[in-house]
Amino acid sequence: MEQNTIDALRAGLDAAGVPYQEQEPLSAHTTFKIGGPAAFFIRPTREEELCKAVTLCKSLSVPCYILGNGSNILFGDKGWNGAVICLAGMKGEIQQEGDTLRAPAGMPLSMLCMAALQAGLTGLEFAYGIPGSVGGAVYMNAGAYGGEMKDHLLWVEYLAPTGEIVRLEQEQLSLSYRHSRFMEEGMQGSCIVRAAFGLQRGEKAAIQSEMDRILNQRRQKQPLEYPSAGSTFKRPQGAFAAQLIDKCGLKGFTVGGAQVSEKHAGFVINTGKATCADVLELTRQVRECVQEKTGYLLELEVRQLP
C-alpha cells in the first residue's frame, strides 16, 4: 500500500473507533502458525465496527481478507499487504427459536456444537472438533464423518458491497463439496455475518456420546498435537487423498519444517519452523508424485494467499 492509503486507513479506523494493529504477525492467528505480518490487522468487536472497517477498506481499494478462527488458510511468508479483518473478537450470542439456532460468523464451530448439545438438538455432531469458525465453515461448506454444513444450514446473512446486510437462503448458496457461492467470482471477499441452522430434537446423552466418539476418533487418527490447516487436499472423485499419498510412500516426507504427517497422510503439519515456501514446495512434490504414480491430480483444500 502507498503511504497516503496507509495514512487514510489509519485515520479512518481511529475516527470510527475500530481496534487494529499494524504489522501484526499472521502466524499468531492461524492454526498453521505460518505467515508474515499483515499491514493492518483489524479486530472489530461489534457489527457496526465490522461494517465501518469493510466499507472503509473498499473505499480505499485496500485488499481485505476476512479471518475467522485462522484454520484452512496459509498466508505467505512476506505477509499480507492489506487489511486482515478478524472476526474472532466479535461479540454475539447464539439465539434459539424452536429447533433453529442462529450464530455469529466469528464464533468457533465447537461452541455452536456445544450450544446444540445443551439445547438437546441433534445434527451438528459431525462438526465437533473442526477447528474453524461458523462463518469459515459455511464459506467452504465444511464437512466430516458423513455430514456437511449444507445438511442443516437454513440461511446466511452477509455484508454486501453496498454496506447492507443481505440474507441468502440455503438454496441460493450453490453448496457442494467444499464449495459455496461465496467462493465464486463476484462474491469473493464478501463478509459472512451470521448463519442459521435447522436441527432436530434429540437426547442429550446420545448427542454427547456421538460428539465424544467423533472427538476421540480425531485424536486417535489426526495429528492434533502439531500445527496444521486441517485436511490439506480435497477428496478426489473415486478415491481418498490420504490413501493415495500413503500408497505413494509419502508419510513422513519432509521439506524444511513442513511434513506429511506420519499419523494421517492427508495432513501437512508444521513441525516447528515451517515456512509457507516449505509447505508449497512439499505439496507441489506430493501432487506431482501422486499424479505420476496413481493418475490422480490432487487439489489443495487449504486456501493460500500470497
| Residues with active-site annotation | 178, 231, 301
| Cβ–Cβ under 8 Å, residues 32 and 73 | yes
What is the identity of the amino acid at 103? A
How far is Cα 68 from Cα 193, in angstroms, rounded to an integer?
11
Cell of 264: 494421517
Return the ∠ at Cα 188 (arms to 184 and 21), rounded to 5°: 160
- Dihedral, CA atoms, 190, 193, 197, 202, nearest 10 degrees? 140
Q: Is 81 helix (H, G, I), strand (E, B) or coil?
A: strand
Q: How many CB atoms lie within 10 A of CB 177?
A: 12
In angstroms, the CA 285 to CA 233 distance is 13
Q: Are 288 and 281 in contact (CB under 8 A)?
A: no
Written as one letter, the residue type at 161 is P
Residues 6+ apart with CB under 8 A from 238: none
